[in-house]
Chain A
Amino acid sequence: MYDNLWLIPLFPFIGFLINGLLGKKIKNEKVIGSIATLAIFSSFLVSCNYFLKLLGDTEKVHEVIVCNWMTVGTLQVDWGFLLDPLSALMIMNVTGLSTLIHLYSIGYMHGEEGYFRFFSYLNLFSFAMLMLVLGNNALVMFVGWEGVGLCSYLLIGYYYEKKSASDAGKKAFIVNRVGDFGFLLGLFTLFWSLGNEGVWTIRFTEISANAHLLENGGIIVTVITLCFFLGATGKSAQIPLYTWLPDAMEGPTPVSALIHAATMVTAGVYMIARMNGLFAMAPDTMMVIAIVGASTALFAATIGLAQNDIKRVLAYSTVSQLGYMFLAMGVGAFGAGIFHLLTHAFFKACLFLGSGSVIHGMHHAYHHAHLDDDAQDMRNMGGLRKKMPITFITFLLSTLAISGIPFFSGFFSKDEILWWSFASTRGHWALWLMGALAALMTAFYMFRLVFMTFFGEQKTDARAKDHIPESPLVITLPLMILAALATVGGFMGIPHVLGNLLGHVPNMIDNFLAPVFEHTQHLHEIHAHGSAATEFTFMGISVGIAVVGIGTAWLLYCKNQELPGKIVAKFPRLHRAIYNKWYIDEFYDALIVNPTKKLGTALWLFFDVRIVDGLVNGLGWIVKGSGRALRYTQTGYTHNYAMSMVVGVVVIIAVCVFN
């Protein structure tokens, strides 16, 4: 019934092969774009089919083994796929968004150098991401994990002639390597420690079924989960490994939307949800996750307050929102985390694509006016709502969603996370406070972005301001679909208190995901002061926070536009610190990057030149010397060769006959 799951990753892979191998010959942009989009769209259709099937099925967990990959001693690894509610939601998310963004890219990437390259990478990315979410064991997941890292590198460095882009690609790749290292270490330790208990496996179903064999809260399980969490921080841009994500905005905007907002960066969240049984057994790790998530949410939000590059604001917002998801994971609200993952994918993808539409328009205008201004700097924008009405409306809807205005999708998911961070057995009011502060800043900087970009007077250069067009339908259509999803997507996870109020509307997403998190149900018990009244109070507080944030933004960037300058003048050091991202990059450079470089140079000069080269050259000298000595045996005289043959015969007879 679920036998053909492998079709889902297969389609994008075929698309990748066609565009990657033949794209240079095809040349026609429309054909290339259609092939890629069709490939991912077919995979979306198949995913829909299986998703609907799973909805109507009582049995919710299905494993399909395609073939054996390797058998090494007690370790058997298959190319296997796992379809359960979690991966079903993820494949819908990945294929659906991917399809929309492929469609968008047809318009956005029009006329770019290496058009086919872009689409083949994008398809390869979809393939790897689907392997990641569908893999039934940790190694297949790791294949996808590395694959998405590779594609991220390739796509960030898409404009590889540009130094900053190739540097950003390298940075992303190297920082991700640190995380991957953690992932592998965790995997090894898990395999070894489960093996010590007699279960040699890396299959997720068996891992969660046998996790109880490990000591609950013991050192081993803590180490394993911390290693996995290190992997997650690398891929999902959390403290301390978040620095690559803002730089990753050097890539084309659709890439930022797909990889660095909606899908790849959520891989860490997905991985923790996938191994929730294991993580639930390590309360210390969970606490670390919750603290790291909350700090990241708050920290990234502060940086987002003062950035002027439209995409950078969104990047820090992504880091911040990912922090929310980790906060949810850390307090045991796995369902809420996944829910936020989905809603975030909708509105953040829409925001990125909207910013792409704005950049596209600005770029077009500058190009038309032969200007070389920065098309991404918000200080050059303003008043765009009349020029780009569709972009504006969709962007506004998504911004409302991310700010947590009631009945938009972000409200439900963010509120659920905040509630759990306070009310869960593993929650704490401090976590809630950090999350709430981050929410305040989110509302502020997102509306700052909207006001600076779409409201007020046009600050664009006079020669360019009249040439900003609305983007074509191929760009605005995905925007509209995503905005609609961002608006209503939240209704799949209506909180229980609200549901009860509206007459027993169920929380669909929680119910659907329940089989995945059955081992961790006990975490969902609410401690003493969690009641419906408190929950409503908290809901009210978060709405109030959002409104305050929006109001402040309106005050500063619409009503009284001199005020921000005054504030900056009053706290110049603080502003400079925030504007320079708290000097974290400089700090890392001084602490890690430069010492590593120096170590590398030292090792090169000492170890490589002296020892390795010396060894190789030494071997060469030995061979050369012995050759020089032995060549005198080659006299060239026939007699000598004949003589050695005869001696050989004598020796052979002696050995054979007289032995």
Chain B
Amino acid sequence: MITITHYMVLSAILFSMGTVGVLTRKNAIVVFMCVELMLNSVNLTFIALSSHLGNMDGQIFVFFIMTVAAAEAAVGLALMIAFFRNSDSIDVEDFSLLKW
């Protein structure tokens, strides 16, 4: 029997992997993909709980998360292109203009 706990543990594992990716990778696009991975793990939690509780609200929320993710992808990638055009790199460690 697949319980809700299975899904949520899986989701936690995926979320943590996404976090590790964000923290260790240098390529901004890969970091961005790791963020998408984290978002998806959250989506999984939402849908699992939605179906477990017999309520559509979680799925609607996932729908909106996807919308935001799409918008984020558009703007984020545009930012990366703009940055690349300026510094010829998309290494996150080059994004350090905000320091002392």
Instruction: Tell me, yes or no, whether A and B come into direct contact in the complex with CB atoms closer than 8 A.
Output: yes
Residues of A bordering B, CB below 8 Å = 631-632, 634-639, 642-643, 646
User: Which residues from chain B contact A643 at a C-beta distance below 8 Å?
Assistant: 23
Contact of A642 (CB < 8 Å), options: B22, B96, B97: B22
B95→A638 contact, CB < 8 A: yes
User: Which residues from chain A contact B31 at a C-beta distance below 8 Å?
Assistant: 638
User: Which residues from chain B contact A632 at a C-beta distance below 8 Å?
Assistant: 100
B92→A637 contact, CB < 8 A: yes
A634→B99 contact, CB < 8 A: yes
User: Which residues from chain B contact A631 at a C-beta distance below 8 Å?
Assistant: 100
Q: Which residue of A lies closest to B93 (CB)?
A: A637
Say how far B39's CB is from chain A's closest CB, in angstroms. Answer: 15
Say how far A161's CB is from chain B's closest CB, in angstroms. Answer: 54
Q: Is residue B74 within 8 Å, beta carbon to beta carbon, of the partner chain?
A: no
Interface residues as binary, B1-36 with A (CB distance below 8 Å gives 1, 0 otherwise): 000000000000000000100110000000100000
> Roughly how many angstroms separate A634 CA and B96 CA in the complex, as a whole number?
10
Q: List 22 A-B contacts (CB under 8 A).
A: A631-B100, A634-B98, A634-B99, A634-B100, A635-B96, A635-B99, A636-B95, A636-B96, A636-B97, A636-B100, A637-B92, A637-B93, A637-B95, A637-B96, A637-B99, A638-B31, A638-B92, A638-B96, A639-B23, A639-B92, A642-B22, A642-B23
Within 8 A of A (CB), among B44-100: 92-93, 95-100
Q: Which residue of A lies closest to B31 (CB)?
A: A638
> Roughly how many angstroms separate A639 CA and B20 CA in the complex, as a whole number?
11
Say how far A638's CB is from chain B's closest CB, in angstroms. Answer: 5
Q: Which residue of B lies closest to A628 (CB)?
A: B100
Contact of B23 (CB < 8 Å), options: A634, A635, A636, A646: A646
B92→A636 contact, CB < 8 A: no
* 10 residue pairs, one from A and one from B, having the closest CB atoms: A636-B99, A636-B96, A631-B100, A636-B98, A638-B92, A637-B96, A635-B99, A638-B95, A642-B22, A634-B100
User: Which residues from chain B contact A637 at a C-beta distance below 8 Å?
Assistant: 92-93, 95-96, 99
> Roughly how many angstroms separate A634 CA and B22 CA in the complex, as a whole number?
19
> Roughly how many angstroms separate A636 CA and B95 CA in the complex, as a whole number?
7
User: Which residues from chain B contact A635 at a C-beta distance below 8 Å?
Assistant: 96, 99
Q: Which residue of B lies closest to A631 (CB)?
A: B100
> Roughly how many angstroms separate A646 CA and B34 CA in the complex, as a whole number?
14
Say how far B18's CB is from chain A's closest CB, in angstroms. Answer: 11
Say how far B19's CB is from chain A's closest CB, in angstroms. Answer: 6
List 6 additional contacts besides A634-B100, A639-B92; criterion CB under 8 Å: A635-B96, A636-B99, A636-B100, A638-B92, A638-B95, A638-B96
> Roughly how many angstroms separate A447 CA and B95 CA in the complex, as a whole number?
95
B92→A646 contact, CB < 8 A: no
Q: Which residue of B lies closest to A636 (CB)?
A: B99
User: Which residues from chain A contact B97 at a C-beta distance below 8 Å?
Assistant: 636
Q: Which residue of A lies closest to B28 (CB)?
A: A638
User: Which residues from chain A contact B19 at a C-beta distance below 8 Å?
Assistant: 646
> Roughly how many angstroms separate A632 CA and B93 CA in the complex, as a whole number?
16
Say how far A641's CB is from chain B's closest CB, in angstroms. Answer: 9
> Roughly how many angstroms separate A283 CA and B22 CA in the complex, as a whole number?
90
> Roughly how many angstroms separate A410 CA and B96 CA in the complex, as a whole number?
91
Among A631, A632, A646: residue with most chain B CB under 10 A: A646
> Roughly how many angstroms separate A295 CA and B68 CA in the complex, as a whole number?
92
User: Which residues from chain B contact A642 at a C-beta distance below 8 Å?
Assistant: 22-23
User: Which residues from chain A contact B96 at a C-beta distance below 8 Å?
Assistant: 635-638
User: Which residues from chain A contact B98 at a C-beta distance below 8 Å?
Assistant: 634, 636
> Roughly how many angstroms separate A638 CA and B34 CA in the complex, as a whole number?
14
> Roughly how many angstroms separate A342 CA and B99 CA in the complex, as a whole number?
79
User: Which residues from chain A contact B22 at a C-beta distance below 8 Å?
Assistant: 642
Say how far A624's CB is from chain B's closest CB, in angstroms. Answer: 14
Q: Which residue of A lies closest to B24 (CB)?
A: A639
> Roughly how many angstroms separate A393 CA and B92 CA in the complex, as a whole number?
100
> Roughly how many angstroms separate A638 CA and B93 CA in the complex, as a whole number?
7
> Roughly how many angstroms separate A646 CA and B18 CA in the complex, as a whole number?
12
Q: Which residue of A lies closest to B95 (CB)?
A: A638
> Roughly how many angstroms separate A637 CA and B96 CA in the complex, as a whole number?
5
Say how far A551's CB is from chain B's closest CB, in angstroms. Answer: 94
User: Which residues from chain A contact B23 at a C-beta distance below 8 Å?
Assistant: 639, 642-643, 646
User: Which residues from chain B contact A636 at a C-beta distance below 8 Å?
Assistant: 95-100
Say how far A629's CB is from chain B's closest CB, in angstroms. Answer: 11
User: Which residues from chain A contact B92 at a C-beta distance below 8 Å?
Assistant: 637-639
